[in-house]
Amino acid sequence: MSDIGQPLRAPLLTQSTTRAATGPLLVLEGLTKAFGGVRAVDDVSLSVPTGSVTGLIGPNGAGKSTVLSMIAGAIRPDRGRILLAGEDITGLPSFRVARRGVIRTFQTASVFPHLTVTENLLLGVPPWRGERIYASFIGRRSWRIQERDQLGRAAEILERLRLSAEADSYAGELSGGQKRLVEIGRAIMARPRLLLLDEPMAGVNRILAGPIEELIADLRATGMTVVLIEHELGIVERLCSPVIVLAEGRVLIEGEMEDIRADPDVRRAYLVG
Amino acid sequence: MSAATQLYLATLSVYICVNVIASWALDIQFGVTGVLNFSFIVFQAAGAYTAAILSLGPSSTSGGFQQYVGGWKLPFPLPILGAMVVGGVLAGIVGLIGLRRLRSDYQAMVMLVVSVIATVVAESETGLVNGPAGVSLVVNPVVSLVHATRQTQTWIFVALCAAVTVVVGFGMHALLYSPYGRVLRGVRENDRAVEALGRNATLARMQVFIIGGALAGLSGALLVEFIGAWAPNSWYYPETFVFFTAVIVGGRGSLTGVAIGAALVGVGIQQAVEYLPITIDPSVIAPLEWVITGALTLLFLWVRPQGILPERRRRFPPPAAMTARGDAR
């Protein structure tokens, strides 16, 4: 489990499970969700190829975050199915979805403000034996050894995120951009099968946006499957393939960014101006 | 030291121990995990009644002047253990009703309603725990176990309470300074995020509700075995706020801070008010305690929300140092 002493980048970002080389990791079939009388997501079907960074773009109110929340189990769809590696995870509560390796970040950075940055990252580790009640009293030496390995990995991630100096700071004391980095670092600690990033650059200054983009590129290089919601189309173009455009709760088009830019429907719905 | 002074000091000591245990019980629920348990006093009361019923024997043996359900004369420490079990089980039942599918503000409302219902039921159903008069004549277990003077017996009970408090303190420390404690604090800070990382926040809340309920039961059992009686007027719902004040004043999530808060608020205020050279109507003394308790809560929430001794920041040594020491702390 320990990555201490290993070359930094590769083991740091490696996923927890070996992946099948082919086929989609995530499939959505006819996903629908209405709030009151408004259909936020309307019969959305799409697939996310294993090992891809799939971009999910669209104008405000297109339903992107609702789709992400349904995948993560935070919102229950009214209709449709969500398949993760062939397993139907529709309607599972978010902690069960997370235990299957689907880890998300939130539109507004969602850290644990009165936990230190290191502790925030430690909570990224999937549920483990040390967190059982009995482990507080029995076998402390055993979980401390495991925790030491986790701390080593957290220290490496913080170094990668240029946050080592803030390891003992409360997460609530950081700037908005740093909180965003902590949240992404915490997600990486989980070694997810599928990482859902909801506007990771939102509210982040240019100095911090660079490292976040580099990090996502590194995740792509390691073969991690990522779904990225992002408004900055330059970033989407550099990182994502394929790109899916949502408008008014429906899938408008899917493909490569250069094709999408040229599509007249997309230009009308989203890209004009 | 006179016998009266000794009894006074012993009584204060027992009250401090009982309040510290109860405040720690609320702290793991509210201070550490963020559960607003406004029915907390119900679990202390359940423990007190249980310990009384498991110590007194059948109600017929006391000449029928008090009526209660059951009635066994179990040896020490079974009444106390029974009180913990009942406190925990009751907390599990209340938790199943109140902690699932409700937002935290609605959870708090449910708890408050539970507290009000519980006292009304205890007062109305006179055959349950002897109605408004409550149960009495509970014998201190030390009296039957140790043949000594009354003063010595009293101090032995004080030592027992202190020992129990120390054991509970070590147990709480082990829980809070572990990965489990970290998850609890995560639930307090951001339950949505903690669920998105694979932890079941509702289960964590249920667990601390049961742990806190059992410890509240323990505190009630110790108290009833010392004072010998327990009635509804000692556990009306506002009593819960004494413990909330103790946690807020002491410092949420800080074991030492909460212990200080428990001694200061649960015992100190009452004693300070008793010794005030009041020249006005003595009937204002009890309301004055409530006014001071409420004012302290507001003062700390505004001026020093982290309490007297804030929750300790968890720092980890650098990985290299840990490897050298072979330990993570």
Q: Over the stretch A198-210, which tens digit does the pLDDT of each residue have?
A: 999 887 888 888 8
Within this chain, do residues B204 and B261 fall inside the same structural domain, yes or no? no
Question: Once rounded to an integer, what is the mean pLDDT over residues B178-197?
Answer: 97
In angstroms, the separation between the Cα of residue B327 and the nearest Cα of chain A is 7
pLDDT-derived band at A265, boundaries 50, 70, 90: confident
pLDDT-derived band at B37, boundaries 50, 70, 90: very high
What radius of gyration do chain A's Cα atoms show?
19
Closest CB to A115: pick one of B174, B186, B329.
B186
**What pLDDT does residue B222 have?**
97
Question: Are A118 and B199 inside 8 Å of each other by CB?
Answer: no
Measured distance CA(B120)–CA(B115) in Å, rounded: 9
Report yes or no on A10 lying in a domain: no
Within this chain, do residues B48 and B175 fall inside the same structural domain, yes or no? yes
**What pLDDT does residue B203 have?**
96
pLDDT-derived band at B324, boundaries 50, 70, 90: low
| Order of strands, sheet of A243-247, starting from the edge strand that comes earlier in the sequence | A102-104, A194-198, A225-229, A53-57, A243-247, A250-255
Measured distance CA(B181)–CA(B31) in Å, rounded: 12
Dihedral sign, CA of A247, A251, A256, A260? Answer: negative
Q: Which two tokens stand for residue B283?
A: 């009937």
Measured distance CA(A173)–CA(B91) in Å, rounded: 36
Measured distance CA(B212)–CA(A148) in Å, rounded: 30
Q: Which two tokens stand for residue B299?
A: 């003062």
Within this chain, do residues B214 and B260 fall inside the same structural domain, yes or no? no
Measured distance CA(A74)–CA(A102) in Å, rounded: 12
Measured distance CA(B189)–CA(B31) in Å, rounded: 11
Residue A77 preceded by cis peptide, ω within 30: no
What radius of gyration do chain B's Cα atoms show?
21
Q: Which two tokens stand for residue A213?
A: 């983009």
Question: Are A95 and B201 inside 8 Å of each other by CB?
Answer: yes
Question: Are B318 and A133 inside 8 Å of each other by CB?
Answer: no
**What pLDDT does residue A4 have?**
30
Q: Smallest Cα–Cα separation from B175: which of B328, B23, B28, B310?
A: B28
**Residue A233 clears pLDDT 50, i.e. is over it:** yes
Count CB neighbours of A39 within 10 A: 16
Mutate to test the interface with A, among B33, B100, B189 (most CBs of A within 10 A): B189
Q: Where are the alpha helices (DSSP H) in A43-175?
A: 64-72, 94-99, 117-122, 140-160
pLDDT-derived band at A9, boundaries 50, 70, 90: very low
Within this chain, do residues B28 and B106 fall inside the same structural domain, yes or no? yes
Within this chain, do residues B250 and B161 fall inside the same structural domain, yes or no? no
Domain of residue B264 covers 238-314
Distance of CA B200 to the CA centre of its chain: 26
What residues in B contact A185, CB-CB < 8 Å? none
> Half-sphere exposure (CA, 13 Å, Cβ side) for B34?
18
Within this chain, do residues B129 and B35 fall inside the same structural domain, yes or no? yes
User: Last residue of some domain: B235, B251, B271?
Assistant: B235
Closest CB to A103: pick one of B190, B197, B311.
B197
Report yes or no on A119 lying in a domain: yes
DSSP characters over A138-195? S-HHHHHHHHHHHHHHHHHHHHHTT-GGGTTSBGGGS-HHHHHHHHHHHHHHT--SEE
Name the A residues in 107-136 with CB < 8 Å from any B CB.
110-116, 118-119, 122-124, 126-128, 130-133, 135-136
Measured distance CA(A124)–CA(A188) in Å, rounded: 7
Q: Which two tokens stand for residue A69?
A: 């929340």
Within this chain, do residues B197 and B242 fall inside the same structural domain, yes or no? no
Q: Smallest Cα–Cα separation from A247: which of A75, A21, A67, A25?
A: A67
DSSP B305: T
**Residue A17 clears pLDDT 60, i.e. is over it:** no
Count CB neighbours of A37 within 10 A: 5
Q: Smallest Cα–Cα separation from B215: which of B72, B40, B95?
A: B40
Token pair 């001794």: residue: B309
**Residue A53 clears pLDDT 50, i.e. is over it:** yes
User: Last residue of some domain: B235, B250, B273?
Assistant: B235
CATH number at residue A222: 3.40.50.300
pLDDT-derived band at A14, boundaries 50, 70, 90: low
Q: Smallest Cα–Cα separation from B239: which of B41, B48, B17?
A: B41
Question: Are A131 and B319 inside 8 Å of each other by CB?
Answer: no
**Residue A5 clears pLDDT 60, i.e. is over it:** no
Within this chain, do residues B58 and B200 fall inside the same structural domain, yes or no? yes
Report yes or no on A263 lying in a domain: yes
Range with top average pLDDT, A25-29, A255-259, B268-272, B285-289: A25-29
What residues in B contact A170, CB-CB < 8 Å? 313
Report yes or no on B322 lying in a domain: no
DSSP characters over B211-246? HHHHHHHHHHHHHHHHH--B-GGGS-TTHHHHHHHH
Domain of residue A50 covers 22-271
Question: Once rounded to an integer, what is the mean pLDDT over residues A110-133?
Answer: 96
Q: Smallest Cα–Cα separation from B198: which of A3, A31, A186, A199?
A: A186
- Output phi, psi for B113, to 5 deg: -65, -40
Average pLDDT of chain A, as a whole number: 88
Looking at chain B, the number of H-run helices and the number of E-run strands are: 15, 0
Closest CB to B190: pick one of A112, A128, A140.
A112
Residue A51, C-beta contacts closer than 8 angstroms, at least 6 positions apart: A19, A21, A25, A223, A224, A225
**Residue B128 clears pLDDT 90, i.e. is over it:** yes
Question: Once rounded to an integer, what is the mean pLDDT over residues B237-243?
Answer: 94
Identify the closest residue of chain B to A164 by CA–CA distance: B318
Question: Are A99 and B198 inside 8 Å of each other by CB?
Answer: yes
Question: Once rounded to an integer, what is the mean pLDDT over residues A45-73?
Answer: 94
Within this chain, do residues B253 and B200 fall inside the same structural domain, yes or no? no
Count CB neighbours of A78 within 10 A: 14
Structural domain count, chain B: 2
**Residue A273 clears pLDDT 80, i.e. is over it:** no
Closest CB to B178: pick one of A103, A127, A136.
A136
Report yes or no on A117 lying in a domain: yes
User: Last residue of some domain: B235, B251, B281?
Assistant: B235
Could you tell me which residues of chain B have a Cβ less than 8 Å from any Cβ in chain A? 171, 174-175, 178-183, 185-186, 189-190, 192-201, 207, 311, 313-316, 318-319, 322-323, 327-329
Count CB neighbours of B193 within 10 A: 24
**Residue A20 clears pLDDT 60, i.e. is over it:** no
**What pLDDT does residue A7 have?**
34
* 3-state SS assignment for residue A43: strand
Q: Which two tokens stand for residue A254?
A: 């899917």
Within this chain, do residues B63 and B192 fall inside the same structural domain, yes or no? yes
Question: Once rounded to an integer, what is the mean pLDDT over residues B100-123?
Answer: 92
Within this chain, do residues B183 and B67 fall inside the same structural domain, yes or no? yes
Q: Which two tokens stand for residue A131?
A: 């967190």
Q: Which amino acid is at B233?
A: N
In angstroms, the separation between the Cα of residue B251 and the nearest Cα of chain A is 13
Mutate to test the interface with A, among B32, B178, B192, B207 (most CBs of A within 10 A): B178
What residues in A contact B199, CB-CB < 8 Å? 95, 123, 127, 131
Mutate to test the interface with B, among A123, A166, A188 (most CBs of B within 10 A): A123
Within this chain, do residues B110 and B32 fall inside the same structural domain, yes or no? yes
Report yes or no on B323 lying in a domain: no
ipTM of the shown complex: 0.90
Q: Smallest Cα–Cα separation from B88: which of B4, B5, B184, B207?
A: B207
Interval A140-181: pLDDT, tens:
888 999 999 999 999 999 998 889 999 999 999 999 889 999
Report yes or no on A16 lying in a domain: no
Closest CB to B193: pick one of A112, A137, A155.
A112
Weakest mean pLDDT among A225-229, B56-60, B249-253: B56-60
* 3-state SS assignment for residue A250: strand
Structural domain count, chain A: 1
**Residue B287 clears pLDDT 90, i.e. is over it:** no
* 3-state SS assignment for residue A27: strand
Distance of CA A124 to the CA centre of its chain: 12
* 3-state SS assignment for residue A227: strand
